[in-house]
Amino acid sequence: MRILLLSQYFWPENFIINDVVRNLVAQGHEVVVATGKPNYPDGKVFPGYRVGGIQRDFFSATVEVFRIPIWPRGKGGARNLILNYISFAFSGLIFFPWLLRKREFDTIFIFAPSPITQAVPGIFLKWLKKARLVLWIQDLWPESLAATKFITHPYLLKLVGCIVKWVYEKSDILLVQSLAFVEPVARYARVEKIIYYPNSIDVKSFSGVKDIPLELANELERHFCVVFAGNLGTAQAVETLVEVAIQLKSDPDVRLVLVGSGSKLAWLQEQKRVHRLDNLILPGFFSMDSMPQIFERAALLLVSLKDEEVFAQTIPSKIQAYLSAGRPIIASLNGEGARIIREAGAGDSCEPENPTALATLICSMKNRSSAERYTMGLAGKAYFYEHFEMTSQVARLVKILETHDKGQH
């Protein structure tokens, strides 16, 4: 199968789509990638790349990658994000048809976290290449815009809803990463287009070959460390985590280790200083191949989101990574993510944005025996291999595409 992967985000940025592409190639399919200049999450274009112009490189030795100009995210803020979103869609419409003019594809596959506008060039390419268009929905628009207060005006949200409906109508298949996405997506699209296709983790690439700093390793090994890994932004309710650190200051053994970067990192650093939170560790960003070294030393793995309906419907992809690590998980969230953790027997959850409930949950888990926590980790790992292992999930993706191609879906 000849597949064009279109996404605003791609390697060397850390997204699961990198491993999906690697697995598609390993299973015998030809993949070309159309993307922008890497700048997520810090907002600066990565070394080796430039903001302007077109660049071409290779991923995993054989996958050709075309990169178009994009306005970097910068340090956040509405202006930078809007320009970032618009610039990819605009540049994509201009450059992708020319860059891909001699290529033919069976499928245009769009990896679609925010923004939904990245699908616009894909719709034009669908018409140009006469290929099927598959949208893998990671975020619900306009719901997530309202939940993060990025857009609050009802007329603007309605306008975004119209764009979403148009994108969904032009797509042949709508893959949703959570079962709870089916109903809200069906408000804008025919339900027969919608297929549940969860995020997955490639444990082969998640090998932990990169060592972590000795200072961080010692911190993780000498204390009861609750590790959060990922984007440190508005959606992750990091204010709650700061309050938890304040409440647990009296316990000299507990540490909250927030691994990652994002729009709230500077604020977190300031809160650590103001409140003198020695139990709040902010080691910064680490690549995916460092994560197993961090996870295996963690007492607990933590996922948190704001108390919004749209986030209750989402399964944060870090949950799959946590499950694969075989460590017990605690969740400060509602809905699908919490359901999966409990169903797997991998840990426990509490209501989101409730620092006291989360602090109590951490203490409760600490008071359990190490054998109990170990059993939770094993249960989570078994659940991961049954539901989220990437090799089998990519094979299922190919079957979905082939079935649709034969007109049977």
When pLDDT is cut at 50, 70 and 90, the band that residue 407 belongs to is: very low
What tokens were used for 355? 């620092």
- The DSSP output letter for 352 is T
On the question of pLDDT at 118 being above 90, the answer is yes
CA distances from 408 to 37, 170, 197 (A): 38, 19, 18
Give pLDDT, residue 165. Answer: 94
The Cβ-side half-sphere exposure at 385, using a 13 Å CA radius, reads 9
CATH topology of domain 2-200+389-405: Rossmann fold (3.40.50)
Model pLDDT for residues 214-231, shown as the tens digit of each residue: 999 999 999 999 999 998
On the question of pLDDT at 206 being above 80, the answer is no
Q: By the 8 A CB rule, do 66 and 33 touch?
A: yes
**Strands 347-350 and 329-332: what pairing?**
parallel
Query: Which residue, 233, 239, 227, is CA-closest to 265?
Result: 233
Q: State how far the Cα of 1 lies from the Cα of 109, in Å rounded to an integer.
A: 12
Query: Which residue, 365, 332, 329, 375, is CA-closest to 251?
Result: 365
Helix (H, G, I), strand (E, B) or coil at 32: strand
Helix (H, G, I), strand (E, B) or coil at 36: strand
Break the chain into its structural domains and give their ranges.
Answer: 2-200+389-405, 214-387
Query: Which residue, 242, 157, 201, 185, is CA-closest to 14?
Result: 201
Helix (H, G, I), strand (E, B) or coil at 14: coil
Model pLDDT for residues 233-245, shown as the tens digit of each residue: 888 999 999 999 9
- What would the mean pLDDT of 87-93 be, rounded to a whole number? 95
When pLDDT is cut at 50, 70 and 90, the band that residue 155 belongs to is: confident
The Cβ-side half-sphere exposure at 15, using a 13 Å CA radius, reads 20
Paired strand residues for 347: 329
Model pLDDT for residues 7-35, shown as the tens digit of each residue: 999 999 988 899 999 999 999 999 999 99
Give pLDDT, residue 76. Answer: 66
Model confidence, pTM: 0.79
Answer whether 2-200+389-405 and 214-387 agree in fold.
yes
Give pLDDT, residue 408. Answer: 40
When pLDDT is cut at 50, 70 and 90, the band that residue 330 belongs to is: very high
Secondary structure E strands in 113-223: 132-137, 173-176, 194-196
Tell which CATH architecture fits domain 214-387.
3-Layer(aba) Sandwich (3.40)
Residue ranges of alpha helices (H) inside 66-108 are 78-99
